């Protein structure tokens, strides 16, 4: 691998807290330890395609550790290996424009990329590595569903947001004897609903890995009534589905790398419960995008910074085509080829994501204290 003098950073996919901590760690390590130049491409791979970037120096990353989101902005719609090109008739033709990105890197003297993102963003990182570009990936998702790493930054801050919301919803549920249904993110995995629900004293948690029977949910609410608990908190993951049913798709985004957008199952569950329960009002809250934003937690600042430092050290030691990851208390690395498109680590892994194990310790602990999963 040729000598590296200048690196480019990319933040792709959905935003989350901790991104700026990673940018901070990479930039300061590159400058202070290795004397490198650093630029950040704006709006993910779109910036690489349009050669839209900003110089990252010590001043640019000063005071950003705690801030949510990313100073480089982000996009989850720009796969340069399958890029939508608008035709005269208003339709799109998809082309591989990755060579344009390579020319832009050559023009600016960028020798390597550090790519911060989830499955889709890291898939493109792997593909650039296959084209001979030195690349290091950094795992990012609030859903905590990436294989090969115990945890991703952004997840902890999202859990804090969910827990805080449930604490507040608990008081109004109690005051009005209501059943409160709270929908959280997570895509096809239930980590946010499970850990957030446990910490927020949920009575019922519905997750994708355990298809639910609505009658079992009703039974749990009636059981609480008999105990003198005339209210209930139901946490629903956006990917939850009933037994013999399907997930609730909110919309299809055709020009996105991840076309399917889940959401709205909490509203469905609310209306169904209201039809079956007549002694309680049932109300619905979707936490939606507030789970992505806000000041980063101490944990996400620290692990984000450590990911950034390790990514730069790995790159400068000759590593490429790899992703940094958290294993226990250590930051290590794994080949991107092992991460993208195949489950590696987790309570259960399959189909490219890290899933909750229905028979794992977390679920067993929740059931031990009386939480129902509608099964």
Domain borders along the chain are 6-153+296-344, 156-292+357-368
What's the rounded Cα separation, in Å, for the pair 210 and 368? 16
Output the pTM of the full model.
0.91
Per-residue tokens: 162: 């969910």
Neighbours of 4 (CB within 10 A): 18
32-83 tens-digit pLDDT? 999 999 999 999 999 999 999 999 999 999 999 999 999 999 988 789 999 8
User: What value does the mean pLDDT take over residues 280-303?
Assistant: 95
> What is the per-residue pLDDT across 15-25, written as a single tens digit (0 to 9) for each?
999 999 999 99
143 a catalytic residue: yes
**How are strands ordered across the β-sheet holding 179-184?**
204-206, 232-237, 179-184, 282-286
Q: What kind and span of H or E run contains 301?
A: helix 298-316
Would 6-153+296-344 and 156-292+357-368 be classified into the same CATH topology? yes
> Quick one: CATH architecture of 6-153+296-344?
3-Layer(aba) Sandwich (3.40)
Q: Which of 77, 75, 81, 72 is nearest to 128 (CA)?
A: 81
For residue 356, the 8-state DSSP code is P
Query: Whose CA is closest to 321, among 139, 149, 128?
Result: 128
153 contact partners, CB below 8 Å, separation of at least 6:
16, 17, 18, 19, 21, 22, 139, 140, 296, 300, 303, 304, 307
Cβ proximity of 289 and 281 under 8 Å: no
Q: Which candidate in 15, 78, 143, 300 is catalytic?
A: 143
In the predicted model, what is the mean pLDDT of the chain?
92
Burial class (CB in 10 A: 0-12, 13-18, 19+), 27: buried
Q: Is the pLDDT of residue 259 over 70?
A: no
| CATH hierarchy code of domain 156-292+357-368 | 3.40.50.460
């Amino acid at each position: 691998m040729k000598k590296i003098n200048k690196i480019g950073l990319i933040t792709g996919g959905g935003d989350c807290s901790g991104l700026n901590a990673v940018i901070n760690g990479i930039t300061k390590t590159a400058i202070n330890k290795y004397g490198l130049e650093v630029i950040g491409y704006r709006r993910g791979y779109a910036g690489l395609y349009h050669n839209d970037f900003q110089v990252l120096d010590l001043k640019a990353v000063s005071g950003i550790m705690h801030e949510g989101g990313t100073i480089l902005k982000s996009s989850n719609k720009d796969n340069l290996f399958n890029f939508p090109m608008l035709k005269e008739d208003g339709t799109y033709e998809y082309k591989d424009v990755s060579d344009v990105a390579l020319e832009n890197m050559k023009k600016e003297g960028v020798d390597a990329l550090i790519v911060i993102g989830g499955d889709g963003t890291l898939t493109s990182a792997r593909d650039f590595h296959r084209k001979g570009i030195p690349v290091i990936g950094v795992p990012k998702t609030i859903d905590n569903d990436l294989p090969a790493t115990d945890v991703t930054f952004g997840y902890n801050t999202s859990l804090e947001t969910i827990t805080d919301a449930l604490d507040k919803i608990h008081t109004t549920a109690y005051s009005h004897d209501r059943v409160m249904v709270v929908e959280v993110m997570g895509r096809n995995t239930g980590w946010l609903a499970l850990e957030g629900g446990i910490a927020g004293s949920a009575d019922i948690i519905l997750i994708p890995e355990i298809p639910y029977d609505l009658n079992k949910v009703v039974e749990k609410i009636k059981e609480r009534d008999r105990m003198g608990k005339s209210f209930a908190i139901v946490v629903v993951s956006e990917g939850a589905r009933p037994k013999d049913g399907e997930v609730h798709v909110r919309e299809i985004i055709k020009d996105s790398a991840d076309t399917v957008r889940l959401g709205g199952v909490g509203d469905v569950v609310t209306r169904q419960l209201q039809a079956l329960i007549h002694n309680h009002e049932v109300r619905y809250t979707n936490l939606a995008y507030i789970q992505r934003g806000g000041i980063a937690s101490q944990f996400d600042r620290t692990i984000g910074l450590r990911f950034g430092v390790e990514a730069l050290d790995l790159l400068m030691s000759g590593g490429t085509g790899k992703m940094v990851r958290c294993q226990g208390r250590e930051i290590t690395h794994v080949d991107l080829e092992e991460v993208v498109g195949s489950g590696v680590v987790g309570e259960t892994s399959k189909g490219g994501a890290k899933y909750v194990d229905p028979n794992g310790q977390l679920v067993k602990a929740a059931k031990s204290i009386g939480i129902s999963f509608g099964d």
